[in-house]
Amino acid sequence: MKKRVLVALLGAAMTVSMMGSVGVMAAETEALPGGGSNIIYVITPSVSNPAFKTEADVATKTAEDLGYEVKAASHDDDPTKQTELFDSAIADKAAAIICDNAGADATIEAVKKAREAGIPTFLIDREINEDGAAISQIVANNYQGAKAIAEVWVEAMGEEGKYAELLGKESDTNAGVRSSAFHEVIDQYPDLEMVAQQTANWEKTEAFDKTEAILQANPDLDGIICGNDTMLEGAAAACEAAGLSIPIIGVDGSDEAAALIRDGKATGTALQQFALMAQMAVEQADTYLKDGSTGLDEKQLVDCVAITKDNVANLKTFVYTEDGADTAGAETTEKTTEEAAE
């Protein structure tokens, strides 16, 4: 059968959930004209992370296919560097900015400054803590995805045992959202005991070092939950070095995590559809620049896909495919981030 991209959880149709509490559509405010050039800036975290490389590559190709010139750069999770890149976009009179931002609070002023220059910003992957500054905030449904993969992990743990958690950057709202979702599931099981919780800042090397120290203090550790796949890689490597095979999960859906799952060195991951979100952002930017509105709410959630050994063969470069998957009739629902966290 023809392969189609699957854009929802485990075979369901894609759900793009509009967060109804915003209730402000681009058409309801004066449209931003763009800076006057044909340049779209694509600003992401370091492309050494395959997820962010996918974002940058897909956004660049989509924009170029639509006839735009693209300038792509990384802020490396440095708000100061990000501000400088926004200033460069303003100086270049960019038509629009696509950004996976460097901080929910630290990014607000840069987006507002671009807006004052007439340049619309379209955010992907990470939200900012203000409504109405960006035109679109297209983010993965982190809560839904983390809950789904946590359920897989609990089953792999046999609903009991000692575990550790590796957290992402404290400045990144996704770190807290994913952790809360993990615990909504895990904390229902009294025989699952968290013996360590440490920040590894999304980094593989730091995750390896933290896991190594945790294992030395807790040689009877039974499992690990990680806020992203890069930390999963580090945790899995540390466990392998210690001769330990235990359930480990992450979030992202990277090819590296997929390889670990196939090899039995990791239990699963929640695929965030980075390619889809990047494509959506550029297409919405193009629509906005032409029509003065995206026709959509500012905040949009894209569901994640739980990846395990049973379906990992269908994952490649952050795209999940399934024979005969029907993606027609995408459903739209109203929800807020707060509601998703309840």
Tokens for 269? Answer: 């991951």
Residue 132 lies in a domain: yes
SS3 content of the chain, % helix, strand, coil (to 5): 40, 25, 40
- Measured CA distances, 26 to 30, 295, 318 (Å): 8, 7, 29
Question: Rounded to whole angstroms, how far apart are CA atoms 232 and 238?
Answer: 10
Residue 326 lies in a domain: no
At which residue do the structure tokens 């001769």 appear? 243
Residue 71 lies in a domain: yes
At which residue do the structure tokens 């806020």 appear? 227
- Environment class of 14 (CB within 10 Å of its CB; exposed 0-12, middle 13-18, buried 19+): buried
Q: What confidence score (pLDDT) does residue 49 get?
A: 83
Residue 337 lies in a domain: no
Check: CB of residue 227 under 8 Å from CB of residue 203: no
Check: CB of residue 259 under 8 Å from CB of residue 231: no
Tokens for 35? Answer: 């800076």
C-alpha closest to that of 339 among 122, 9, 18: 18
Residue 56 lies in a domain: yes
Cα atoms in the Cβ-side hemisphere of radius 13 Å centred on 222: 16
Q: At what angle do helices 229-241 and 255-262 cross, to 10 degrees?
A: 40
Q: How many domains does the chain have?
A: 1
Q: What confidence score (pLDDT) does residue 323 get?
A: 59
Pairing between strand 299-302 and 136-140? parallel
Question: Rounded to whole angstroms, how far apart are CA atoms 297 and 306?
Answer: 26
Question: Rounded to whole angstroms, how far apart are CA atoms 233 and 263?
Answer: 13
- CATH number assigned to the domain comprising residue 78: 3.40.50.2300
Q: What is the pLDDT of residues 42-59, one digit of tens each?
A: 999 999 888 899 999 999
H helices of the chain, where? 50-65, 79-91, 108-116, 142-157, 173-186, 204-217, 229-241, 255-262, 274-291, 337-340
Give the domain extent around 87. 13-139+275-301
Residue 211 lies in a domain: no
Residue 316 lies in a domain: no
DSSP 134: S
For every one of its 342 residues, what pLDDT tens digit does the chain have, with 9 covering 90 and above? 333 333 333 333 344 443 333 344 443 568 999 999 999 999 999 998 888 999 999 999 999 999 999 999 999 999 999 999 999 999 999 999 999 999 999 999 999 999 999 999 999 999 999 999 999 999 999 999 999 999 999 999 999 999 999 999 998 888 999 999 999 999 999 999 999 999 999 999 999 999 999 999 999 999 999 999 999 999 999 999 999 999 999 999 999 999 999 999 999 999 999 999 999 999 999 999 999 999 999 999 999 999 999 999 999 999 898 753 433 222 322 333 333 333
- Environment class of 31 (CB within 10 Å of its CB; exposed 0-12, middle 13-18, buried 19+): middle
Residue 61 lies in a domain: yes
